Amino acid sequence: MFEHLHGLPADPILNLMVQYRQDNNPLKVDLGVGVYKDEQGQTPIMQAVHAAETHLLASETTKTYIGPAGSEGFCFQISRLLLGNDHAVIKDQRITVAQTPGGCGALRVAAEFLAKCDPDTTVWVSDPTWANHIPLLKGANLTITEYPYYDGENKAIRFDAMMSALETAKSGDVVLLHGCCHNPSGADLNHEQWNSIAELVVRKGLIPFVDIAYQGLGDGLVEDTYGARLLADKAPEMLIASSCSKNFGLYRDRTGAVMVISANQTQASVSASNLFSIIRGIYSMPPAHGAAIVETILGNEALTKQWDDELTMMRERILQLRHQLAKEIAACGTEQSFAFIPEQKGMFSFLGIDKAQVAQLKDEYSIYMVDSSRISIAGLSSSNIQYVAQSLSAVLK
């Protein structure tokens, strides 16, 4: 049987990580993988997470099964962190929340939920979008189509083209939107653009599906939810996939949530039973540890404050690196402007250089990034930023 399989190429980012590890150049810089790094190049465990883990270790009394939806306390806290304490969909009991293995788990469960509603569902994704969106949605056999999003020439969102494309969507089509910190472009919708999208989605009977994996790493914990909250206000039906991987630094603990907003309370209980049955058929129940940490932090005022302060520091560091990179490149006398970098949000931006230049940066300067020239900003630090700027400007000359 196994002989029927053909070998598959390695994931390009994982490949890049291996090449980086094997590189002996002391000046090497990893701008590939999308994890937060501090000034020392480490991805540390947040102190609030450590404190919550210590508390959990001392107080946990059982590891018995918990159920497909995971921890009720986690689901309560995470939906309020995203939508606010008093959102109408919570008060009206129109929302179903399930704890998932990371944001990927949430996306995959949501995809299965859509396929169960209608196997012919079409999902519109941004061009470009996070590469893993495609297999996560295709795994449920959904049809994928693209709307224009980022204009690499002008370093701006192609908003008119995006809206024109979505005008051609049919009722019941799903629109996948990045809640904040668009991956890979860093180009986020402004409030006016979100307002227009909400109007279009409601008018045409489209289902918004918000993927929010970087809440708190763009403009702020509440600011980053503008689009998600607005769509939850306006649309009768909606899906949300949220992740705690980046904002709690829980990457390998696989912590996220899927949220389904239904048109009314009766429909919500039907949606819930379907959602939980889908989960039961995939992984049965989510892992507990990461969600217990998040629940402990968000259920304790002092820990929430400590976590919020740490997250603010991470957000501000990324923004400061964005400003510094643009400044250092300009100081090299580079003709091309990189002033767009501090305008963009979150962990990523495209440098906008071609594949040959990306390869040159890797081969001659040991600076690693994916072929599209997407860089992970947190891979920069005060010790390597000048080297990156100088190497880039050398490659551009």
Cis previous bond, 184, omega within 30? yes
Write out the H or E segment, with its range, that includes residue 221: none
Q: What share of the chain is helix, strand, coil (3-state, %, to 5)?
A: 50, 15, 40
Q: Which residues pair with 208 in a beta bridge?
A: 175
Contact of 328 with 389, CB cutoff 8 Å: yes
Q: Which is nearer to ligand PMP, 102 or 128 (CB)?
A: 102
Exposed, middle or buried: residue 202 (CB in 10 Å: 0-12, 13-18, 19+)? middle
* Closest C-alpha among 42, 37, 45, 17 to residue 380: 37
CB of 24 to ligand PMP, least distance (A): 29
CB of 189 to ligand PMP, least distance (A): 14
Q: Which is nearer to ligand PMP, 140 or 395 (CB)?
A: 140
Catalytic residue among 188, 211, 224, 253: 211
What is the x/- site pattern for ligand PMP, positions 161-180, by CB under 6 A?
Answer: -----------------x--
Contact of 41 with 380, CB cutoff 8 Å: no
Q: Which is nearer to ligand PMP, 34 or 379 (CB)?
A: 34
Q: What is the DSSP letter of 84?
A: -
Q: Which residues, numbered 143-162, are part of the site for ligand PMP (CB under 6 A)?
A: none
Q: Which residues, numbered 192-221, are part of the site for ligand PMP (CB under 6 A)?
A: 211, 213
Write out the H or E segment, with its range, that includes residue 14: helix 12-22
CB of 243 to ligand PMP, least distance (A): 3
Catalytic residue among 28, 37, 155, 246: 246
Residue 352 DSSP SS3: coil
User: What distance in Å separates the CA atoms of residue 59 and residue 62, rounded to the nearest whole number?
Assistant: 9
Q: Which is nearer to ligand PMP, 139 or 205 (CB)?
A: 139
CB of 101 to ligand PMP, least distance (A): 7
For this structure, is 204 an active site residue? no
Question: How many residues at the interface with ligand PMP, by CB under 6 A?
Answer: 13
CB of 92 to ligand PMP, least distance (A): 27
Phi/psi for 123 (5° steps) reads -110, 125
For this structure, is 354 an active site residue? no
- Pick the binder of ligand PMP from 71, 243, 344, 372 (CB under 6 A): 243
CB of 394 to ligand PMP, least distance (A): 30
What is the x/- site pattern for ligand PMP, positions 15-44, by CB under 6 A?
Answer: -------------------x----------
Q: Which is nearer to ligand PMP, 243 or 324 (CB)?
A: 243
Catalytic residue among 130, 224, 345, 362: 130
- Provide long-range contacts, Cβ within 8 A and 24+ apart, for 127-135: 128/184, 128/185, 128/372, 129/176, 129/178, 129/183, 129/184, 130/178, 130/183, 130/184, 130/211, 132/104, 133/107, 133/176, 133/211
Q: Which is nearer to ligand PMP, 214 or 226 (CB)?
A: 214
- Pick the binder of ligand PMP from 20, 113, 130, 147 (CB under 6 A): 130
CB of 46 to ligand PMP, least distance (A): 15
What is the x/- site pattern for ligand PMP, positions 79-118, by CB under 6 A?
Answer: -----------------------xxx--------------
Residue 226 sits in the site that holds ligand PMP (CB under 6 A): no
Residue 253 sits in the site that holds ligand PMP (CB under 6 A): no
Helical ranges in 119-264 per DSSP H: 133-138, 159-167, 191-204, 226-234
Taking phi over 0 as left and psi of -120 to 50 as alpha, with beta for the rest, 110 belongs to alpha
Q: Which is nearer to ligand PMP, 102 or 186 (CB)?
A: 102
Q: In the numeric block, which tokens belong to residue 106? A: 């949430």
CB of 345 to ligand PMP, least distance (A): 13
Contact of 185 with 349, CB cutoff 8 Å: yes
Q: Which residues are catalytic?
A: 130, 211, 246
Residues of this chain that interact with ligand PMP (CB under 6 A) are: 34, 102-104, 130, 178, 183, 211, 213, 243, 245, 251, 256
